[in-house]
Structure formats: C-alpha cells, structure tokens
Amino acid sequence: MKNIESSQAGLRHILFICLQVTFASTSICAQIHDLSLIKTFKGHLGDVHSVAFSPNGLYAVSGSSDKTIILWEVESGKLVRRFEGHKEAVSRVVFSPNGLNVLSASHDQTLRLWDITFGSEVWSLDGYAKALYSVAISPNGRYAIFGSYGNPLRIWDMAEDKLKLTFQDFPHEVTSFVSDICFSPNGRFALSGGGGPSYILWDVAGGHWGMMGGSDTHSRLIWAVAFSPDSRHILAGSDDYTISLSGLVGGVIQTFEGHLGPIRSVSFSPDGRFVLSGSWDKTARLWEVDSGRLLHTFQGHEAQVLSVAFSPDGRNALSGSVDKTLKLWDVSPWTNPSVSIPTIAVLDLQGVGVSGQHTQLFTSRLSTILASSPAYRLIERATLQQILNEQDLQLTGSTSDEVVARIGQLLGAQQMLTGIVGRIASTYNIDLRIIDVETGGILRTTTFSFEGSINDLLTNGSYEIARQIIHGD
C-alpha cells in the first residue's frame, strides 16, 4: 500500500484485511474500508462537479453533469429538493451567506439563483458565448464574480441586477480558461486559477489584477484555489499533483505532496489549520497546514473526486465524485483530537441459528474493525478472557446488563458491546447494544439485517455494522 500516513490515527482509521480463515473452510478477503465515512448520498445521474455546505451546516448542495442541483439534509442524507432548469452540466454551486439561496454556474453559459425554501428560480443571467466553470458570491451576499473561456472576469450586482465591474486589464492567459474563483473572506480580493501554472489575485475595489503567483512552484495548470479564513494566505491545487500554500504578497510557505493525480478541489478548514483536497486519484486528503503533513487519505469513491468542502464546524468533510455520489466524512479525530476517546470491550456474541465457529468469526471480525478506528480504544480479547477466567464467568449476548457493567469495571472499560447474531434462512439479524459501565444503562442499540452468505457478512456486512456503531446511525 502506497503513501501510508505517518499519523497513528490515520493508520488506525483505514482497515485493509485479507485473511484466510480455516474455520468451516471460510475464506475472507476484505476490501479497503474507511471507517471515517459517515454516509453516502445517492441521487445524481451524472458526475458530481461541485459540493457545498450551508452556512449552518444542516444542508448540503451539489451540482452535476446531469444538469440538476440537489439540496440534501446532512444528518439524515435525505434528498430535500432537486432544482431543474439548466440545459447543460452544472459546474459550480455556492450558498449565499444567509443560507437562503444557491447560485449555480453551468456549461449552458448561464448563472441561476435559486430559493432553497420554495425551489424556485429567483434570478438568471445569460448571453455568454462560452461555458461557465466557476462562480463565487461576495461575503456580503450582494455580488457574484464569474468568468468563462475567452472573456474577462465580471462582477454582477445581484441586488440591482446589473453589471458592477469588468476586469479589462488582465493577463492574456486568463482569457483561455477560468477553472476556479473565490472572494477573500474580507471581501477585498478575488482569486482565480485555470489560465496556466499561475493564479491571479484581483483587486476587487480597483478592478485590476494585482499579482500572479504559483509559477515558481507549479509546472502545470492550477485548477483549484482558495483563501485562508483570515484572507492572508492562498491555496492552489495543480495538475502537477501538488498543492501550494503562499502568502498574500507571494512566496511559497508550504507544499503538500502525496496525491497520485491532478488536484481538482481545495479547501481550508474554518480555523485555517487544515487543508482538504480532492483529486483524480479517487481520494480526498487531509493535511496539516503548519507541518505540511498528510493526516489522512479518505478512500471510498470509485472514480475521480472533483469537489471537497469542510463543514462550518470543521468536524466533517464532503466530497463529490465522477462516481455520481457525495460522501460525508468524519474528520474530527484529526481536527479535534482532544475529544475523549472511550475504551470499549466486545463480548462474545450469542449465536441463534448460527454455528459457534461463525459466531466467533463475526465477533472477532467486528472487534478487529473497531480496533482500527480512532473512535474507540479497544480492550484486547486476551485481557477480557483473563478477567472472565479469574471470575469464573462466561458472558454471552444474553448476559444481563448489570453483570456486563460489573465486568467492564474490572476491565477498566467505559463501554461494553454485547448482543446477538441470528440467522433465518439466508438472512442474518444482528442486535447489538452498548452498555455504559458507569451507569449500567444502555447507551445505544444497533439493529442490522443482512442477506447473503457468512463470507459476505464477514467481508461487507460487518463493516456496515461497525460504521453504524461508530457514527450512531
């Protein structure tokens, strides 16, 4: 496996297991599963070109080559509304600062502003001869900046529906392609990429370009750009597989290397301490700004990652891909490592209609997956067995919660996982509960049904169950 992170948390959060198990001639060969994945959003019929969180973090929006825009409820993953009207692929979607509207840019050469409450089109702008690839809204919510092939950048006053500014004095390479553009959080500047191995810093007030940068670091086209939250630093992602961090007045501060394909999207965390990137190598990656260190590689998309975004609270990340899906990731183990990590022990589950060997295999498999996640500190089964032997106890999924909690106290665990795995015909039914050792009460229950063989349950079903345990859904 290439490019394994030096971060211990990162190593524990990716699970790659290929086991040959002799019990009942069962062979297990599991694929890579990233336990930081919270959920997958499905609904688009084409590539997901752009994703964004609402300012309050409750909703997400996505734009696709299927010509539609979808509004999602983040917590449930529910498709709230689909916006239709564009005649070609939607290349970019952004929320207004008040979270009431979404602005979209499309290859059909139009911009459209949508009301997310009623699903109606509020405003549109057309008349351009080239596809629009990027658009941004000013921090005060009044202006939209956009560009296209062969045309100068423009700022449009959405409140008065008129042109505010055209950048006439611009470098020649900007006329070829504007792949990405954004406003600085303080509203004074705009940043664009796409014309070559340089980004352009624009003076919004004066209507002139102020600086070209990046060519001293990047050898190929800069596709993605972003401002730091304090408006003092510039992030640029390139087709040369690297990302650069520069000061506002130039000078490369940090270079992030590790992707195996062109960079298509970059984003700063809300506190500016971390960087998120998406690439044609089918991954999103999390980086530490100060050290340039790769903290984690988010794996799970089946095709190129075209867009990434941090949630407003910095705890989650969103990615959109050519595989037609969005994925929501938990980044808090790296961005907020001070969060207390509970210690858990997994008891032998009780099998009902399942052989003892298969029940033991499933219990062991589930324990291995949980041990790979930074969401828990797992007590080794040898330690658990030693305590049980000393107490002359044999615990199963049917053991009372009071006894389970008492054993947990002897182990020094904070939580205990117990339950039943049953089978009727080819359907497995798993009922699990997590016991709070201190109170003896049930913290959470997880119920899961799986259709398939024991091998399918061990390689795929067990991962989905572990994901439910970790993320509580």
Looking at residue 379, which CATH number applies to its domain?
A: 3.40.50.10070
Cα–Cα dist 165/154, whole Å: 6
295's tokens: 């903290």
Residue 245 has pLDDT above 80, yes or no: yes
- pLDDT above 70 covers a percentage of the chain that reads 85
Kindly report which listed range (83-87, 257-261, 336-340) carries the lowest average pLDDT score. Answer: 336-340
Q: Please check whether residues 317 and 417 belong to one and the same domain.
A: no
Predicted confidence band of residue 352 (pLDDT cuts 50, 70, 90): very high
Last residue of a domain, one of 335, 358, 391: 335
The C-alpha R_g of the chain, in whole angstroms, comes to 25
| Number of domains observed in the structure of the chain | 2
Q: Please check whether residues 288 and 329 belong to one and the same domain.
A: yes
Predicted confidence band of residue 4 (pLDDT cuts 50, 70, 90): very low
Place of tokens 């500016």: 272
In a domain, 26, yes or no: no
Q: Please check whether residues 315 and 376 belong to one and the same domain.
A: no
Phi, psi at 377, each rounded to 5°? -105, 115
The answer to whether the CB of 351 falls within 8 A of the CB of 422 is: yes
The string of pLDDT tens digits covering residues 382-411 is 887 787 777 766 655 556 888 888 888 888
Q: Please check whether residues 419 and 285 belong to one and the same domain.
A: no
In a domain, 77, yes or no: yes
Mean pLDDT of the region 25-49 = 75
In a domain, 47, yes or no: yes
Mean pLDDT of the region 160-187 = 78
Q: Please check whether residues 187 and 331 belong to one and the same domain.
A: yes
Residue 284 has pLDDT above 90, yes or no: yes
Q: Please check whether residues 64 and 134 belong to one and the same domain.
A: yes
Cα–Cα dist 70/78, whole Å: 10
Q: Please check whether residues 199 and 280 belong to one and the same domain.
A: yes
In a domain, 24, yes or no: no
Domain CATH code at residue 202:
2.130.10.10
| Mean pLDDT over the full length of the chain | 86
Residue 328 has pLDDT above 50, yes or no: yes
Question: In which domain, by residue range, is 364 found?
Answer: 340-471
Last residue of a domain, one of 335, 366, 382: 335
The string of pLDDT tens digits covering residues 413-472 is 999 999 999 999 999 999 999 999 999 999 989 999 999 999 999 988 888 898 888 887
* Amino acid identity for residue 347 in this structure: L
Q: Please check whether residues 41 and 91 belong to one and the same domain.
A: yes
Q: Which of 264, 263, 267 is nearest to 310 (CA)?
A: 267
Last residue of a domain, one of 335, 350, 384: 335
In a domain, 19, yes or no: no
Place of tokens 């019990």: 23
Tell me, what DSSP letter sits at residue 175? Answer: G
Give bridge partners of residue 33 from the DSSP assignment.
15
What pLDDT shows up at residue 325?
Answer: 98
In a domain, 32, yes or no: no
202's tokens: 């624009």
In a domain, 27, yes or no: no
Place of tokens 């351009």: 128
Cα–Cα dist 342/452, whole Å: 32
First-residue to last-residue Cα distance in the chain: 30
pTM of the model: 0.79
Q: How many Cα neighbours within 13 Å face the side chain of 288?
A: 16
Q: How many Cα neighbours within 13 Å face the side chain of 343?
A: 13
Q: Please check whether residues 358 and 328 belong to one and the same domain.
A: no
Q: What is the pairing mode between strands 343-346 and 415-424?
A: parallel
Q: Please check whether residues 259 and 367 belong to one and the same domain.
A: no
In a domain, 189, yes or no: yes
DSSP secondary structure string for all residues of 303-332: S-EEEEEE-TTSSEEEEEETTSEEEEEE-H
Residues 6+ apart with CB under 8 A from 179: 133, 134, 193, 194, 221, 222, 223, 224
- Compute CA 138 distance to the chain's CA centroid, rounded to the nearest angstrom: 25
Judged by DSSP in three states, 40 sits in strand
170's tokens: 């611009």
Q: Which of 74-83, 215-224, 343-352 has the highest mean predicted lDDT (pLDDT)?
A: 74-83
Cα–Cα dist 56/50, whole Å: 18
Q: Please check whether residues 61 and 92 belong to one and the same domain.
A: yes
Sign of the CA dihedral 149, 152, 155, 156? negative
The answer to whether the CB of 214 falls within 8 A of the CB of 236 is: yes
Q: Please check whether residues 215 and 318 belong to one and the same domain.
A: yes
Predicted confidence band of residue 80 (pLDDT cuts 50, 70, 90): very high
Mean pLDDT of the region 270-295 = 96
What pLDDT shows up at residue 403?
Answer: 83
Predicted confidence band of residue 214 (pLDDT cuts 50, 70, 90): low
